[in-house]
Structure 1
Amino acid sequence: MEDSLILKNIGKHISLDKQEALYFLSLLKEKKVCKKETILKADEVCREIYFVQSGTLRAYYTDKAGKESTIMFAVADWWVTDMFCFINKKPAMLNIEALEDSFILQLSKEDLDKLYLKIPKFEKFFRIIMQNAYIREQLRIIENLSLTAEERYYIFLEKYPQVAKQVKLKQIASYLGITPEFLSMIRSNKNKVIS
């Protein structure tokens, strides 16, 4: 298993000795995911959190009319799940799909609970991950309430340049809560300003 990326990710917030790292790695399941494959479907019980080793995933919500709203993207070195449903072992509200061939590591809720008991410092790690996710979403809500679509797009490009290069315009528009046509207009206006 190519584990250096995930151990570097963990190492940003906690230090592991060799035995702790080996135990942690033993709990992970590797999975190759093909482009357009769904790894979590709405209404299925969410049992796992995923770490992206390579590729790009998208978590999205589908309303009753069939309209998709992108909640988040996950590229290499990012974690993703339907957090409320994962923590509470509830049916998922979100779908998570691969936007390209991807390689992920899965950690089940049961194994996460074992990890907390065996290596308590992992509670600190996942607390930090969840705090950061909460902060990111709070800022996103405030931006949606206070900024124009154009301003939100430029902030998205600044914060997530690697995501912007890897996903379709339609999916970025969905994340920003605007139509693809309106996003195309914003982009063409930006190009006019640059020329």
Structure 2
Amino acid sequence: MLSILLPYLVAITLLTITPGLDTTLILRTAALESKGDALKAAMGINLGCMVWGLLVAVGLGAILASSALAFVVLKYLGAAYLAWLGLQCILKPRHHLRGDQPVTHQENWWLKGFYTNILNPKVGLFYLSFLPQFIPAQHAVFMWTMGLVFIHIVLSIIWAFCLIALTQPLAQYLKQSAVIRRLDRISGVIFIGFALKLIGTKLNP
């Protein structure tokens, strides 16, 4: 169990703190509105993660129950997607954060955070391609998938609290071009490593 969860914790922690749309929304809301609004946005973001997790958990269960061939196809498609993400991060790292639009007053920050996440299909694709390699053989796919998603959500909430509590110094640090490039490249290496690991994954529901 530890040999499965420890690599997942390391990888998902690093990927959680890598700046993206969610981080940008939380930082800007905390800086321009209030910490309470930023917390609402963070909760909305994680509600989106939960919905994506449920969809992927149901989908994985159906795929694995259908046939061994379906899983092999999923495995190689997932590995290809992770490898593509990794190469993009390594060869074309970002120099600045995207989605840094002005914040509008009187927003429903729960819905703002939720829509930011649920309308981003990359979250579902990431779960679908990344999580299967951490589900042990002969274990319930749905329960394990939701457990892994729950771990990600807990880490995301902790990170959101850190972002909100230390908005100014963290915003300045995470928006530095060198920091963004470095984190992207590290994430890229992780993506490629887990793409290779996924190819060798054997999953028996």
Normalization by structure 2: what TM-score?
A: 0.27
Higher relative contact order (CA 8 A, sep 6+): 2
Normalization by structure 1: what TM-score?
A: 0.28
Structure 1 or 2: more strand by fraction: 1
Structure 1 or 2: more helix by fraction: 2
